[in-house]
Amino acid sequence: MKILLNCLPCHDVSKLYPIEIQDTAIYEIDCEKGHKTVQILNEAQFETLFELGSLALLDGYTREAVSSYASSLERFYEFCIRVLLSVHKVNYSTMNETWKMVTVQSERQLGAFYFIWLLHYKKTPPKIAQKWVTFRNDVIHKGYIPKYDETKQYATSLYEYMLPIIIEFKRNYTKHFEHLKDKDFLIDKYACLSSPFVRDTYFLSKETMFNLVSSKDPLGNFDEALAMLAKRKDTLYSNSF
């Protein structure tokens, strides 16, 4: 999948450059007029994964949709853990060192989420219904081919699980989203670029189904968010290679 970006110095929104979606969310653009820029998208990785899941759903690829949604949920737990650790004044590098100890063990990450939630809110954390955990495992590990309707129900259940937390964090903790664009973090990320720091750099936010960092509010429900994605996908994404 590619994302469509325009060259910011050109101010021409009609000329879009398709660039393969990057895990780093860092995009180098060499425009036809010779501007060489870097655009860093502020969205969290879980948002991008949820978008990819929904794009797959809109195209009828249900297994691929479930895989992206499931990854989105895992990265969402990581996001929540990092926000709450930041609220409790844990610095980014210590957080990172500790995260490395659980980085390949999603069950441990989930355990960390539960107990950080408990510590912070003094309440039992919200939990995904067991039926959807089983559904996800059947798709990912047993080759189950899900139907469109049940995939959509799965996506709806994740959306309804994540949305109240996103609204709560957006209301109270936006300054703790800093790690999404933490300087050290970006320097690490920049190691993947061919010409670090020689390009003009722009930070920007795109609309997503959750609008975590966008100035817009998240949409009220999954059907509405999916309908909006269906409307804007042709101006934001391209699946041609």
Binding site for Zn ion (CB under 5 A): 7, 9-10, 31, 33, 35
- Match 């909006």 to its residue by tokens: 228
Minimum distance of Zn ion from residue 116's CB (angstroms): 44
**Residue closer to Zn ion, measured from CB, 34 or 220:** 34
User: Of 39, 115, 43, which is closest to residue 77 (Cα–Cα)?
Assistant: 115
Beta carbons of 211 and 48 less than 8 angstroms apart: no
CA separation for the pair 193, 22 (Å, rounded): 11
C-alpha distances (whole Å) from 158 to each of 19, 28, 68, 129 are: 28, 32, 12, 10
* CB closer to Zn ion, 7 vs 139: 7
Q: How far is the CB of 17 from Zn ion (least distance, A)?
A: 9
- Determine the Cα–Cα distance for residues 202 and 25; give it in Å rounded to an integer: 12
Minimum CB–partner distance for residue 9 and Zn ion (Å):
5
- C-beta closer to Zn ion: residue 33 or 108: 33
- CA–CA gap between residue 20 and residue 4 (Å, rounded): 9
What's the closest the beta carbon of residue 4 comes to Zn ion, in angstroms?
15
Smaller CB distance to Zn ion: residue 115 or 203?
A: 203
Q: What is the rounded (10 degree) CA torsion for 145, 224, 179, 174?
A: -150
Distance from C-alpha of 81 to C-alpha of 160, rounded to nearest angstrom: 19
CB of 55 to Zn ion, least distance (A): 27
Instruction: Report the residue number, 200 or 224, with the smaller CB distance to Zn ion.
Output: 200
CB of 52 to Zn ion, least distance (A): 27
User: Is the torsion defined by CA of 37, 38, 42, 47 positive or negative?
Assistant: positive
Nearest residue (CB) to Zn ion, 16 versus 167: 16
